[in-house]
Chains A and B, each alone.
Chain A
Amino acid sequence: QVTLKESGPVLVKTTETLTLTCTVSGFSLSNAKMGVSWIRQSPGKALEWLSHISSNDEKSYSTSLKSRLTVSKDTSKSQVVLTMTNMDPADTATYYCARLTRGYGDAFDFWGQGTLVTVSS
């Protein structure tokens, strides 16, 4: 079955760089119909889309965070990696990775459980 699982540090300091890994199973990152996005949710707040990587390695970023984000994938390891530079307490959030399947409304049909990242000064 399809699963996604986020991993990374629980706690980072202000100005540090965050690196998160999404490990997927049950599908291939090279499948032309598949892509993976990163989405975050600050405590008590709404979902915020951050970044997407498609099977052909096309990458996209949130307009407001573009300068701080980098996404990449390692198809052989079934992993998608997100880095976010210059972390701030306002970046404290649960970070999710989610699969998007083209041809199904470009919606996120499977999600990881999320990983809570706290930024402390």
Chain B
Amino acid sequence: DIQLTQSPSFVSASVGDRVTITCRASRDVKSWLAWYRQKPGKAPELLIYTTSTLQRGVPSRFSGSGSGTSFTLTISSLQPEDFATYYCQQAYSFPLFTFGLGTKVDVK
């Protein structure tokens, strides 16, 4: 099974900060990587798929990059609604999937 390792596990930040989260895959997943935001008590919501494609309706402050085994989610200017937990997910091994363990972004 493909494992996904996210870092850091926790980020303390302020509104307006630039935040970067990394996801590393245990083997090459090409560009088959997605990112989700999960607000407390809510279901996850898709932000980005195939590494860098923004899901419809997602603000442009979110961006993704990378390929192979190393990927990055960047929030250019953190907003109040972005204090949440973020997960990466690989789909290279479709129809088997894996999620990372998450990165929690909280208030500094």
Contact = CB atoms under 8 A, between A and B. Distances in A.
Interface of A: 35, 37, 39, 46-49, 52, 54, 58, 60, 62-63, 96, 98, 104-109, 111-114
The interface residues of chain A, by DSSP majority, are classed as strand
A63 B1 contact: yes
B43 A114 contact: yes
27 contacts: A35-B95, A39-B99, A47-B36, A47-B87, A47-B89, A47-B102, A49-B96, A52-B95, A52-B97, A58-B95, A63-B96, A96-B43, A96-B44, A104-B49, A105-B32, A106-B34, A106-B91, A106-B94, A107-B49, A107-B50, A107-B91, A108-B34, A108-B46, A108-B89, A109-B49, A109-B55, A112-B43
A42 to B, nearest CB: 12
The interface residues of chain B, by DSSP majority, are classed as loop
Contacts of B43: 96, 98, 111-114
Contacts of A37: 97
Interface residues of B, number: 26
A37 to B, nearest CB: 7
Given A47-B38, A108-B44, 4 more contacts: A47-B36, A96-B44, A108-B89, A111-B44
Contact of B49 (A39, A48, A49, A105): A105
